Structure 1
Amino acid sequence: MSPNAIKVLYRLHKAGYKAYLVGGGVRDLLLGLAPKDFDIATNATPEQIKRLFRNCRLVGRRFRLAHILFGREVIEVATLRGHHSDGDNKTAKANNSGRLLRDNVYGTIDQDAERRDFTVNALYYDISDFSVRSYGGGLKDLQSRTLRLIGDPEQRYKEDPVRMLRAVRFATKLGMTIDAATLAPIKKLSPLLSDIPAARLHEEVLKLFFHGHANSNLDMLHQLGLFKSLMPVIDGAIAENKNHITARMTYKVMQATDDRINADKSVTTAFFYAALFWYPLTRRAEDISNESGLSRYDAYLAAMGDVLEQQCRCVAVPRRHTALTKDIWQLQLRLERSTNGRAFKLFELPKFRAAYDLLLMRAELEGERTQTLANWWREFVDGDENSRKALIKRSDKGSKPRRRRPRRNTKPKLSKQG
């Protein structure tokens, strides 16, 4: 267990408050996994927590939380929640579909457990007597590897549609089977995800696809009708034909991401989106070029904005990532026409490696022309200085000489005088 989480638990306990390690941290410890987060629940209010910890900041509007900061580690502390119906206009609010917009109603541990999403997350480690409290059959479901919602599934999904994404993520991450009653309403209620703020869905996308189970999550999300709320353009291609080049690239990207995560290698959000949306980009660029007569390069620049804008309506990708995604896309075009002396300059660019990796992925799908280009760049990347110069020299010899236009005669013609 995190030493910092233990510090927080003991300080709350010594100050006279109830303090519990709760949710995923307890669940993962019982499963023999290493928890990534340690969340704490207490009967202290956010303001009381802040008075206890100088390194505390209060966050959230829908539900107030206390973040205790220990360098890069953040211990999240939440006040035990009560029933939403017990609140007033200042503490509780829901929209017409039942989604909770404000939920600052505080209560007891029993009430808090009823408000948890899944039974395997309704587990509390009590620091006062070192016991684990289980609600709704959480320990039993943990042992049987069953993922079950607490309460009526349809109502719980309406309260927070993101729970449908969490069901998929927990099922693949923990190797669990989703209970039939928990699974049944998902397909019907999947359109509710369109009401979720796009910025929140970006965080969910990272959790779904950057933790080593991207391929499994993609399959389940698509089958349950959830993927189209995250990436509608790609979902349409998968639904149409899994052999469609966009669908094949999507599965290739997911597998490559899983391989890197499982090998403890880094993954970048910009490359992830650049690879996923390369073929929607090329299709949109062709349409723009045909409609407006723009050059290929200018059509691609215009298409980049269109594709990313469409995606950001569903999932808000931060600008720092979209800017790098555009850089990787532009480098695809430059790689095609830089098999000459300009290759050295291109090779030194910070985003060259990401663009090169995308080219290699494209070569496996597109055929001979792209494969030839990828082979040229592979030889350039793997070679030393002398072999690179020799490669460029061979390329220059093999290229067709540029035809020069005849010089125009700029001298004015003399008029005949009669």
Structure 2
Amino acid sequence: MKKNVLIIGAGGVAQVVAHKCAQNNDVLGDLHIASRTKSKCDEIIASVRDKGAMKVDGVFEAHAVDATKSEEVARVIRETGAEIVINVGTAFVNMHVLDACIETGAAYIDTAIHEEPDKICETPPWYANYEWKKRDLCAEKGVTAILGAGFDPGVVNAYARFAIDQMDEVKSIDIVDINAGSHGKYFATNFDPEINFREFTGTVYYWEDQTWKELSMFESGKTWDLPVVGPSKAYQSGHDEVHSLATNYPEADVRFWMGFGDHYINVFTVLKNIGLLSEQPVTTAEGQEVVPLKVVKACLPDPASLAPDYTGKTCIGDLVTGTKDGEPVELFVYNVADHKEAYEEVGSQGISYTAGVPPVAAAMLIASGEWDAKTMKNVEEMDPKPFFTILDRIGLPTRVQKGGLGGEDMAWTELGA
């Protein structure tokens, strides 16, 4: 049994994590949040207090930390007595926070693969470049590390595992992420612009016929008719979960599809073609060195600022095919989230909500012991059913369409699993 949580980060996802931890602090114990800018943490705690989110009276404190320095993170872990760390800072700090958890024995949860600032879409399998190199050390030290426990990656990994558990053999896993909401801005990204653009400027890697294959961004697209949001154009993209799912289910084709409108594609294409999405520094005529991508990020709206005016819904799910008793089987496992409802509850938009609720569910399962693996695991390596049970209760209910898209729609518990 573990308790007392340290949240790393103070962006839109961290706000959701903070509210959900507060709503479940009877299970999670004392709460702490740390970021380079302590005032941002203070603001998040104030929002928690304003909404009366604390389930029981308890500690919720803010701290300053440079998460690129593992010794600083370790110091805060020791000072707070945190036994569970939820890392929702930038993907550039993952390995530093993980190292601090290994040093102190705290359980580690993140929501994305570690990235190095000067490298984009590295050679598959991407997890093997960083996190998985620490797997044996986690096992040796008995440290629980749950990787990629947001929505995608995260919940979609659990959807894949759940669907595959209903089959004798899996054939394909197609993850589809559609945001049918509107933020009302000329152009903005739903999460950190730097991370957002980096996902789409490199090679699109996917797993098919038991080998890695490559595409260019926006080269492969199709229209998906999903529940609630309806027909939506999505494009095959490289993404975190493809790398772990391809390793754990090598017999399955694994693809990730994300929805994009024509306006996003047009703006993205112009920015990329003139070099403004490059992660490599350039020198201005005045002799100042700048990174174009960071300049673009500084010019765009903070994703957290989109929340008050965001309307519409998201639909994210897995279409999984395979066989059962020699017959073909197709399941679509999914969730629908509402931007306005997310803002009313926790002050964040729906993309942040879907990313921030799952790591809190994972923390609760570590606290109870059910997911306290004492080694490193990706989400699909854990039992998905207790995860779904908590997600249903705290805001992200799981639905299943039996027979694939357009099939009989039911709660996951009705599938008889």
More helix by share: 1
Do these two structures clear the TM 0.5 threshold for a shared fold by scoring above it? no
TM-score by length of 2: 0.30
More strand by share: 2
TM-score by length of 1: 0.30
